[in-house]
Amino acid sequence: MAPPPKLIAVDIDGTLLPSAGTHVSVRNRRALLSAEAAGIEIVIATGRRQAYAVPLIDPIGLKPQTVMITSNGTVTRTLGGDRIDRFFLPVATALELCPALRRFGGTTVFTFDREGPGELVLESVDQLHARIAAWVEANRPWIIEVRPLERAFDSGEPPVQGMVCGTVDGMRQAHIWLEDSDLASKIEMHRTEYPGRDLSILDILPPGCSKGVAMQSLAQLRGIAPAEIMAIGDNFNDLEMLEFVGQPVVMANAAPGLVEIARDRGWQITVTNDDDGVALAIESVLDSLSVQSTEASTL
């Protein structure tokens, strides 16, 4: 039997958030706060950048020291904004990626770790809007258009993340092509798929970056063993994190391929994001702690 986790890492989209809307449910919020009150560290691990994630997490009421692993592991900060770790994609690599990615029909976005307009740089807002309108509308204050995209690096500032948004087939082709190219050793790739919308996002990160690597670094900093960590996720960009921890939990609404991996490996599968699967997983932990406390008090 697994020991009660000392740390629980939770993805946002498709996991903590419902399929529609941007508000964490009352039950999920209560479960997170109850876990925190019980002495379990809560970590938010997301593909979103900090500025795009904080407005969703702040209303929960977690303490400012809560760690947020953002941009799929390239930036780690507290909810209050204190930086713990950060990695950059070299400018030379970003410049190589620009022409290479145009052939796959997606829209490329580079994320910079700066505040205000220019955090997100792309060539065409309209093109991206046609694919992920809600994301574009939510991020308009931080987006600037630069044509050609290579001009985004004229200042020499490196990005923390690249993102290509396109069809599922197109992004799979891009992934395969990059794996076989000279760029493979210079980048890390994580793909998120939404087959029902024929939408896929291919994240391109500095070498060695992932939610899993960031989680490993945090575990070492805290002195916590993988067996004492639970992680909850729903897509392939969560895979390395789920593989690292001793208590992986996959959402029932997860990408079909990830659900298949979970079943093959005997990982826990909780209910869907719309049915508060995060809360259900955390409540089972809290119930176990309550039982242990009761047993200890009777000895």
Please indicate whether the domains covering 7-86+209-298 and 91-205 agree at the CATH topology level.
no
Encoded amino acid at 194, one letter: Y
Nearest to 97 by CA among 22, 155, 149: 149
What is the SS3 assignment for 86?
strand
Class of domain 7-86+209-298: alpha beta
Confidence of residue 134 (pLDDT cuts 50, 70, 90): confident
> Per residue in 146-160, pLDDT tens?
999 999 999 999 999
**Fold that domain 91-205 belongs to in CATH:** 3.30.1240
What is the SS3 assignment for 27?
helix
Question: Residue 55: what pLDDT?
Answer: 95
Can you tell me the mean pLDDT for 248-266?
A: 97
Can you tell me the mean pLDDT for 188-199?
A: 89
Give dist(CA 203, CA 163) in Å, integer. Answer: 4
Can you tell me the mean pLDDT for 42-65?
A: 96
**What are the sequence ranges of the domains in the chain?**
7-86+209-298, 91-205
Question: Residue 178: what pLDDT?
Answer: 97
Confidence of residue 299 (pLDDT cuts 50, 70, 90): low
Question: Residue 34: what pLDDT?
Answer: 98
Can you tell me the mean pLDDT for 164-185?
A: 95
Instruction: Decide: 9 and 245 in contact? Cβ < 8 Å.
Output: yes
Question: Residue 154: what pLDDT?
Answer: 97
Question: Residue 298: what pLDDT?
Answer: 55
Tokens 């899993």 sit on residue:
212
